[in-house]
Structure 1
């Protein structure tokens, strides 16, 4: 009996170290996706190609899980109404805004505007739906994020390429749509991986539209490029990243897990400099810094429920 306690404590420490490393890896996946996707659309692949690669990969891989959970009869046990709402928030509409934004605006903008908006919506939703306490720390974080978003908006309007403003608006739409997704997952108490399967399978409805109107043949890029982007979009971002996040959060606890999302804009902004050569202007640097700082302040300690 005396020997089992240290072993249990050691396993717990290993689990926490593994969860910490996993969350770091998941944030790097999400942050790098902005840069990788931006690189793809700048080198021949369209936003429609990227969407097709994402949903054909994730949809077919998660189709068995979807069918075993109940299939089309009741949308894998989730119900069609809820399933369609989640598919809008995290499936094709959200992904379409993301890929369209990356066609017009720098990857660093997407990496900060999307997560920044999601954080603001998450804080407001937690207060309204779950009775979280609105502390001074949360208010200061939200204000910093909003001021940073305003700085990026002003910088976009003064840029020589007016399409950047349109891309930034798409990223803002991503945050507005995606921000409600985790709130509904928590409100409806839906398993995150089950919700991912529903979203991925339902989003396959876009594939007939793609092949009818946007398909340009399989020679738009070398086969290995298509394969790599299919793995990045459908496997890493949709399945692996979400699974790691879902497993690591209860191991680390919400107060620790909440400190990781600010790594997304940090990773996306830093990777965009060497990979894409995107050197932000002074006002853009200020806006990005404010958003990242606001995310750290707002997420460093989760507000307790009343």
Structure 2
């Protein structure tokens, strides 16, 4: 297959689309507070609207039936409301750039720690060095309050880290159990919609009825369909066409792109220290993800 083949072109295009999709999600989630919607509404949109597509898919493609009850419960919990509510709450305190840094950016590091602690998977030398760079840069970014935008940004950073731990468990277990797209949609969307939506409708505060139509439509489309369903399909295509190593390497651009979009769209400036640390983080990501063939982050 030549470097100019259509398959390679569409693979690289799909991977870069995901970079913009995830970076855009950081911005959309950051401005959700101004839409009148609560974080509980955002979670309801995420699970409820995605389930409209997920239920027919899971009805016709029944790979989810191959999962054990323990696997369904584990994956559904990891991708469930605690995870996503921590992430949405993080955007109430911290800039969009910090979401990319303390979620996407530290995923390889947290995944290495979880893999070693639970399964004895020893990181390679390159993974270790990449993890050290990620840790140092994340620590510098967390301690640098000059460009954080709010004195309570550290609260958001901690919430993002909780989200990263949840998602890292998903990455480790999905690779270990060889989870496919339908199984992810079933556990991450359908099961959580069935559990969460009644609780949200009956007990949780909501601003859905008063939300302006424009912001509501933006959040509905982006939270409900773009990252979960569109992201899943594009990552699967990129992984098939250019491989998981190349896909994961391109996705290392998400934290930097999130910071750039946060500055351009929201006016969230990063200090000089943060910019240097962000560069170190990107280098650490590239080293860590290219040292083995990881399952792509979805």
**TM-score scaled by structure 1?**
0.85
Pair 1:179 & 2:171 matched: no
Matched residues in 2 for 1:53 and 1:250: separation?
30
- Structure 2 residue corresponding to 1:221, chosen from 211, 214, 227: 211
Matched residues in 1 for 2:227 and 2:86: separation?
16
Q: In 2, are the aligned partners of 1:193 and 1:243 still within 8 Å (CA)?
A: no
What is the match of residue 197 of structure 2?
207
What is the match of residue 145 of structure 1?
134
- Structure 2 residue corresponding to 1:233, chosen from 223, 226, 233: 223
Matched residues in 1 for 2:45 and 2:226: separation?
12
Matched residues in 1 for 2:213 and 2:68: separation?
38
Q: How much has 1:302 moved relative to structure 2?
A: 2.5
Matched residues in 2 for 1:76 and 1:215: separation?
35
> What number of residue pairs does the alignment pair up?
292
What is the match of residue 186 of structure 2?
197
Matches for 1:261-300 after TM superposition, within 5 Å: 261-300=251-290
- Structure 1 residue corresponding to 2:59, chosen from 67, 76, 90: 67
Q: How much has 1:200 moved relative to structure 2?
A: 0.3
Give the direction of change, closer, same or farther, for the CA distance of 1:10–1:119 in structure 2 (3 Å limit): closer
Q: In 2, are the aligned partners of 1:45 and 1:221 still within 8 Å (CA)?
A: yes
- Structure 2 residue corresponding to 1:26, chosen from 18, 38, 41: 18
- Structure 1 residue corresponding to 2:37, chosen from 31, 36, 45: 45
Give the direction of change, closer, same or farther, for the CA distance of 1:243–1:154 in structure 2 (3 Å limit): same
Q: How much has 1:66 moved relative to structure 2?
A: 2.5
User: Structure 2: which 5+ residue stretches go unaligned?
Assistant: none
Q: Please tell me the root mean square deviation across aligned C-alpha atoms, in Å.
A: 2.7
What is the match of residue 6 of structure 1?
none
Give the direction of change, closer, same or farther, for the CA distance of 1:258–1:218 in structure 2 (3 Å limit): closer
Q: How much has 1:290 moved relative to structure 2?
A: 2.3
Matched residues in 1 for 2:247 and 2:216: separation?
33
What is the match of residue 57 of structure 1?
49
Q: How much has 1:80 moved relative to structure 2?
A: 2.4
Cα offsets for 1:35-70 (capped at 9, x unmatched): 111012244322112111111111221012233455
Does 14-23 or 213-222 show the bigger shift?
A: 213-222
Matches for 1:126-165 after TM superposition, within 5 Å: 129=119, 134-135=124-125, 137-156=126-145, 161-165=150-154
Give the direction of change, closer, same or farther, for the CA distance of 1:257–1:64 in structure 2 (3 Å limit): same
Q: In 2, are the aligned partners of 1:258 and 1:299 still within 8 Å (CA)?
A: yes
SS in 2 for 1:179: helix
User: Structure 1: which 5+ residue stretches go unaligned?
Assistant: 1-8
